[in-house]
Structure 1
């Protein structure tokens, strides 16, 4: 697949994501935040980092970047969009996914490997994993506590939109231990853990590689 990796001021996981896409056989291209051209991509990834320094709120300024108008239109027309960490925060701010991000319950930056359970593998992003498979992938965030109203949580559960949950521990206090969700159409997904940082054994885990291989299927 031809996959666009968006670069905002403050993005710092663009090269990692680009590398993960290359070693899994994709054709990645960088998309600058001021551009209006998505370069005929099949999928867009909003990578991790600290877009605009996380001023005001993580992702709150990035949603106004010119490229986001194109990404919102792309997603609304059925295009595949994945947000990782800061990318997930941007998708929430842009209204492409429901809910919001709050500071970690510890109010500190947390950077460590965690275990997550794949709850829903019936989508383009996670089909190479087994249902209920537990994988090891790192997190790195200060505002990663996912929150949604009671009614919103019921809707997520009813529509099988909770795709990833923290296992064994809830490092940031996310409601219902949620680590990743997908929209109702199944074409937009957000996750806080960093699969691009777990694609080779030398990194401590290669459990993230199947996410990038899932796109190929």
Structure 2
């Protein structure tokens, strides 16, 4: 299974994502620069956190127009697995691959600490190894993680089971609407989340709860492609 980690000017979690793939599931993984226009080689694409283009205008607003984004939209339409983390989530919403928008934290402060999440949807390629309702510990590091959408969009998200993660009740760190920490598209192959699972792959880092996001995607891909894909 081939993984791509997109790299924009200002990305700073690309190495974390690369190492998470390498260390947890041992699959081939490449850094892919934002000027690339062909992602056909890859089965899964990670859009990492950071401060793409310095977060000028809005977070992700400039990265959304990078050449690689055309190829990313095509990959999403083809059903390939895409995970946007933190700034990557912001980029996916700016590109229209996910609904909603990310605003300044309600506190107007950058928040960097462990966060408790409740798993709401285990029917995505990235969450199949979790249990619905399970509480997991995943770190956050963001200043603009306050998820927002209008009432009609929120109703649609709930109706289609597109809320993937919520902050545990009473533990919302940013004022996010309905405690939302991550969502997916209607097809379920594109997931965006503010917390950083790639920073939670070992107890040495404070939690290994993020590891199953990477084992989930490999298990899903292997199941889809049959026994020939194993090994």
TM-score interval (norm. to shorter):
over 0.9
Using the TM superposition, give the Cα deviation of residue 37 of structure 1 relative to its aligned residue in structure 2, in angstroms.
2.3
CA contact (8 A) 2:60 2:87 kept: yes
1:38-57 aligned within 5 A: 38=39, 40-57=41-58
1:29-68 aligned within 5 A: 29-38=30-39, 40-68=41-69
| Whole-angstrom distance in 2 between the partners of 1:198 and 1:82 | 15
Moved over 4 A (4+): none
Deviates more, 1:19-28 or 1:104-113: 19-28
Q: 1:203 aligns with which of 199, 202, 205?
A: 205
1:130-169 aligned within 5 A: 130-167=131-168, 168-169=170-171
Alignment length, in residue pairs?
217
Using the TM superposition, give the Cα deviation of residue 39 of structure 1 relative to its aligned residue in structure 2, in angstroms.
5.5
Q: In the TM superposition, what whole-angstrom CA distance separates every residue of 1:66-86 from its partner, at most 9, and x where no partner exists? A: 000110111112221110000
> Residue 189 of structure 1 aligns with which residue?
191
Deviates more, 1:188-197 or 1:30-39: 30-39
| Whole-angstrom distance in 1 between the partners of 2:81 and 2:199 | 21
Q: In the TM superposition, what whole-angstrom CA distance separates every residue of 1:54-109 from its partner, at most 9, and x where no partner exists? A: 00100000000000011011111222111000000000000000111110001111
Cα RMSD over matched residues? 0.8
**SS at 1:215's partner residue?**
helix
Report the TM-score, using the length of structure 1 for normalisation.
0.98
> Residue 12 of structure 1 aligns with which residue?
12
| Whole-angstrom distance in 2 between the partners of 1:158 and 1:37 | 34
> Is residue 2:128 matched to residue 1:120?
no
| Whole-angstrom distance in 1 between the partners of 2:67 and 2:43 | 19
Using the TM superposition, give the Cα deviation of residue 216 of structure 1 relative to its aligned residue in structure 2, in angstroms.
1.3
5+ residue gaps, structure 1: none
| Whole-angstrom distance in 1 between the partners of 2:205 and 2:93 | 29
5+ residue gaps, structure 2: 220-231
CA contact (8 A) 2:40 2:75 kept: no
Report the TM-score, using the length of structure 2 for normalisation.
0.92
Using the TM superposition, give the Cα deviation of residue 48 of structure 1 relative to its aligned residue in structure 2, in angstroms.
0.5
**SS at 1:181's partner residue?**
strand
**SS at 1:139's partner residue?**
strand
CA contact (8 A) 2:118 2:133 kept: yes
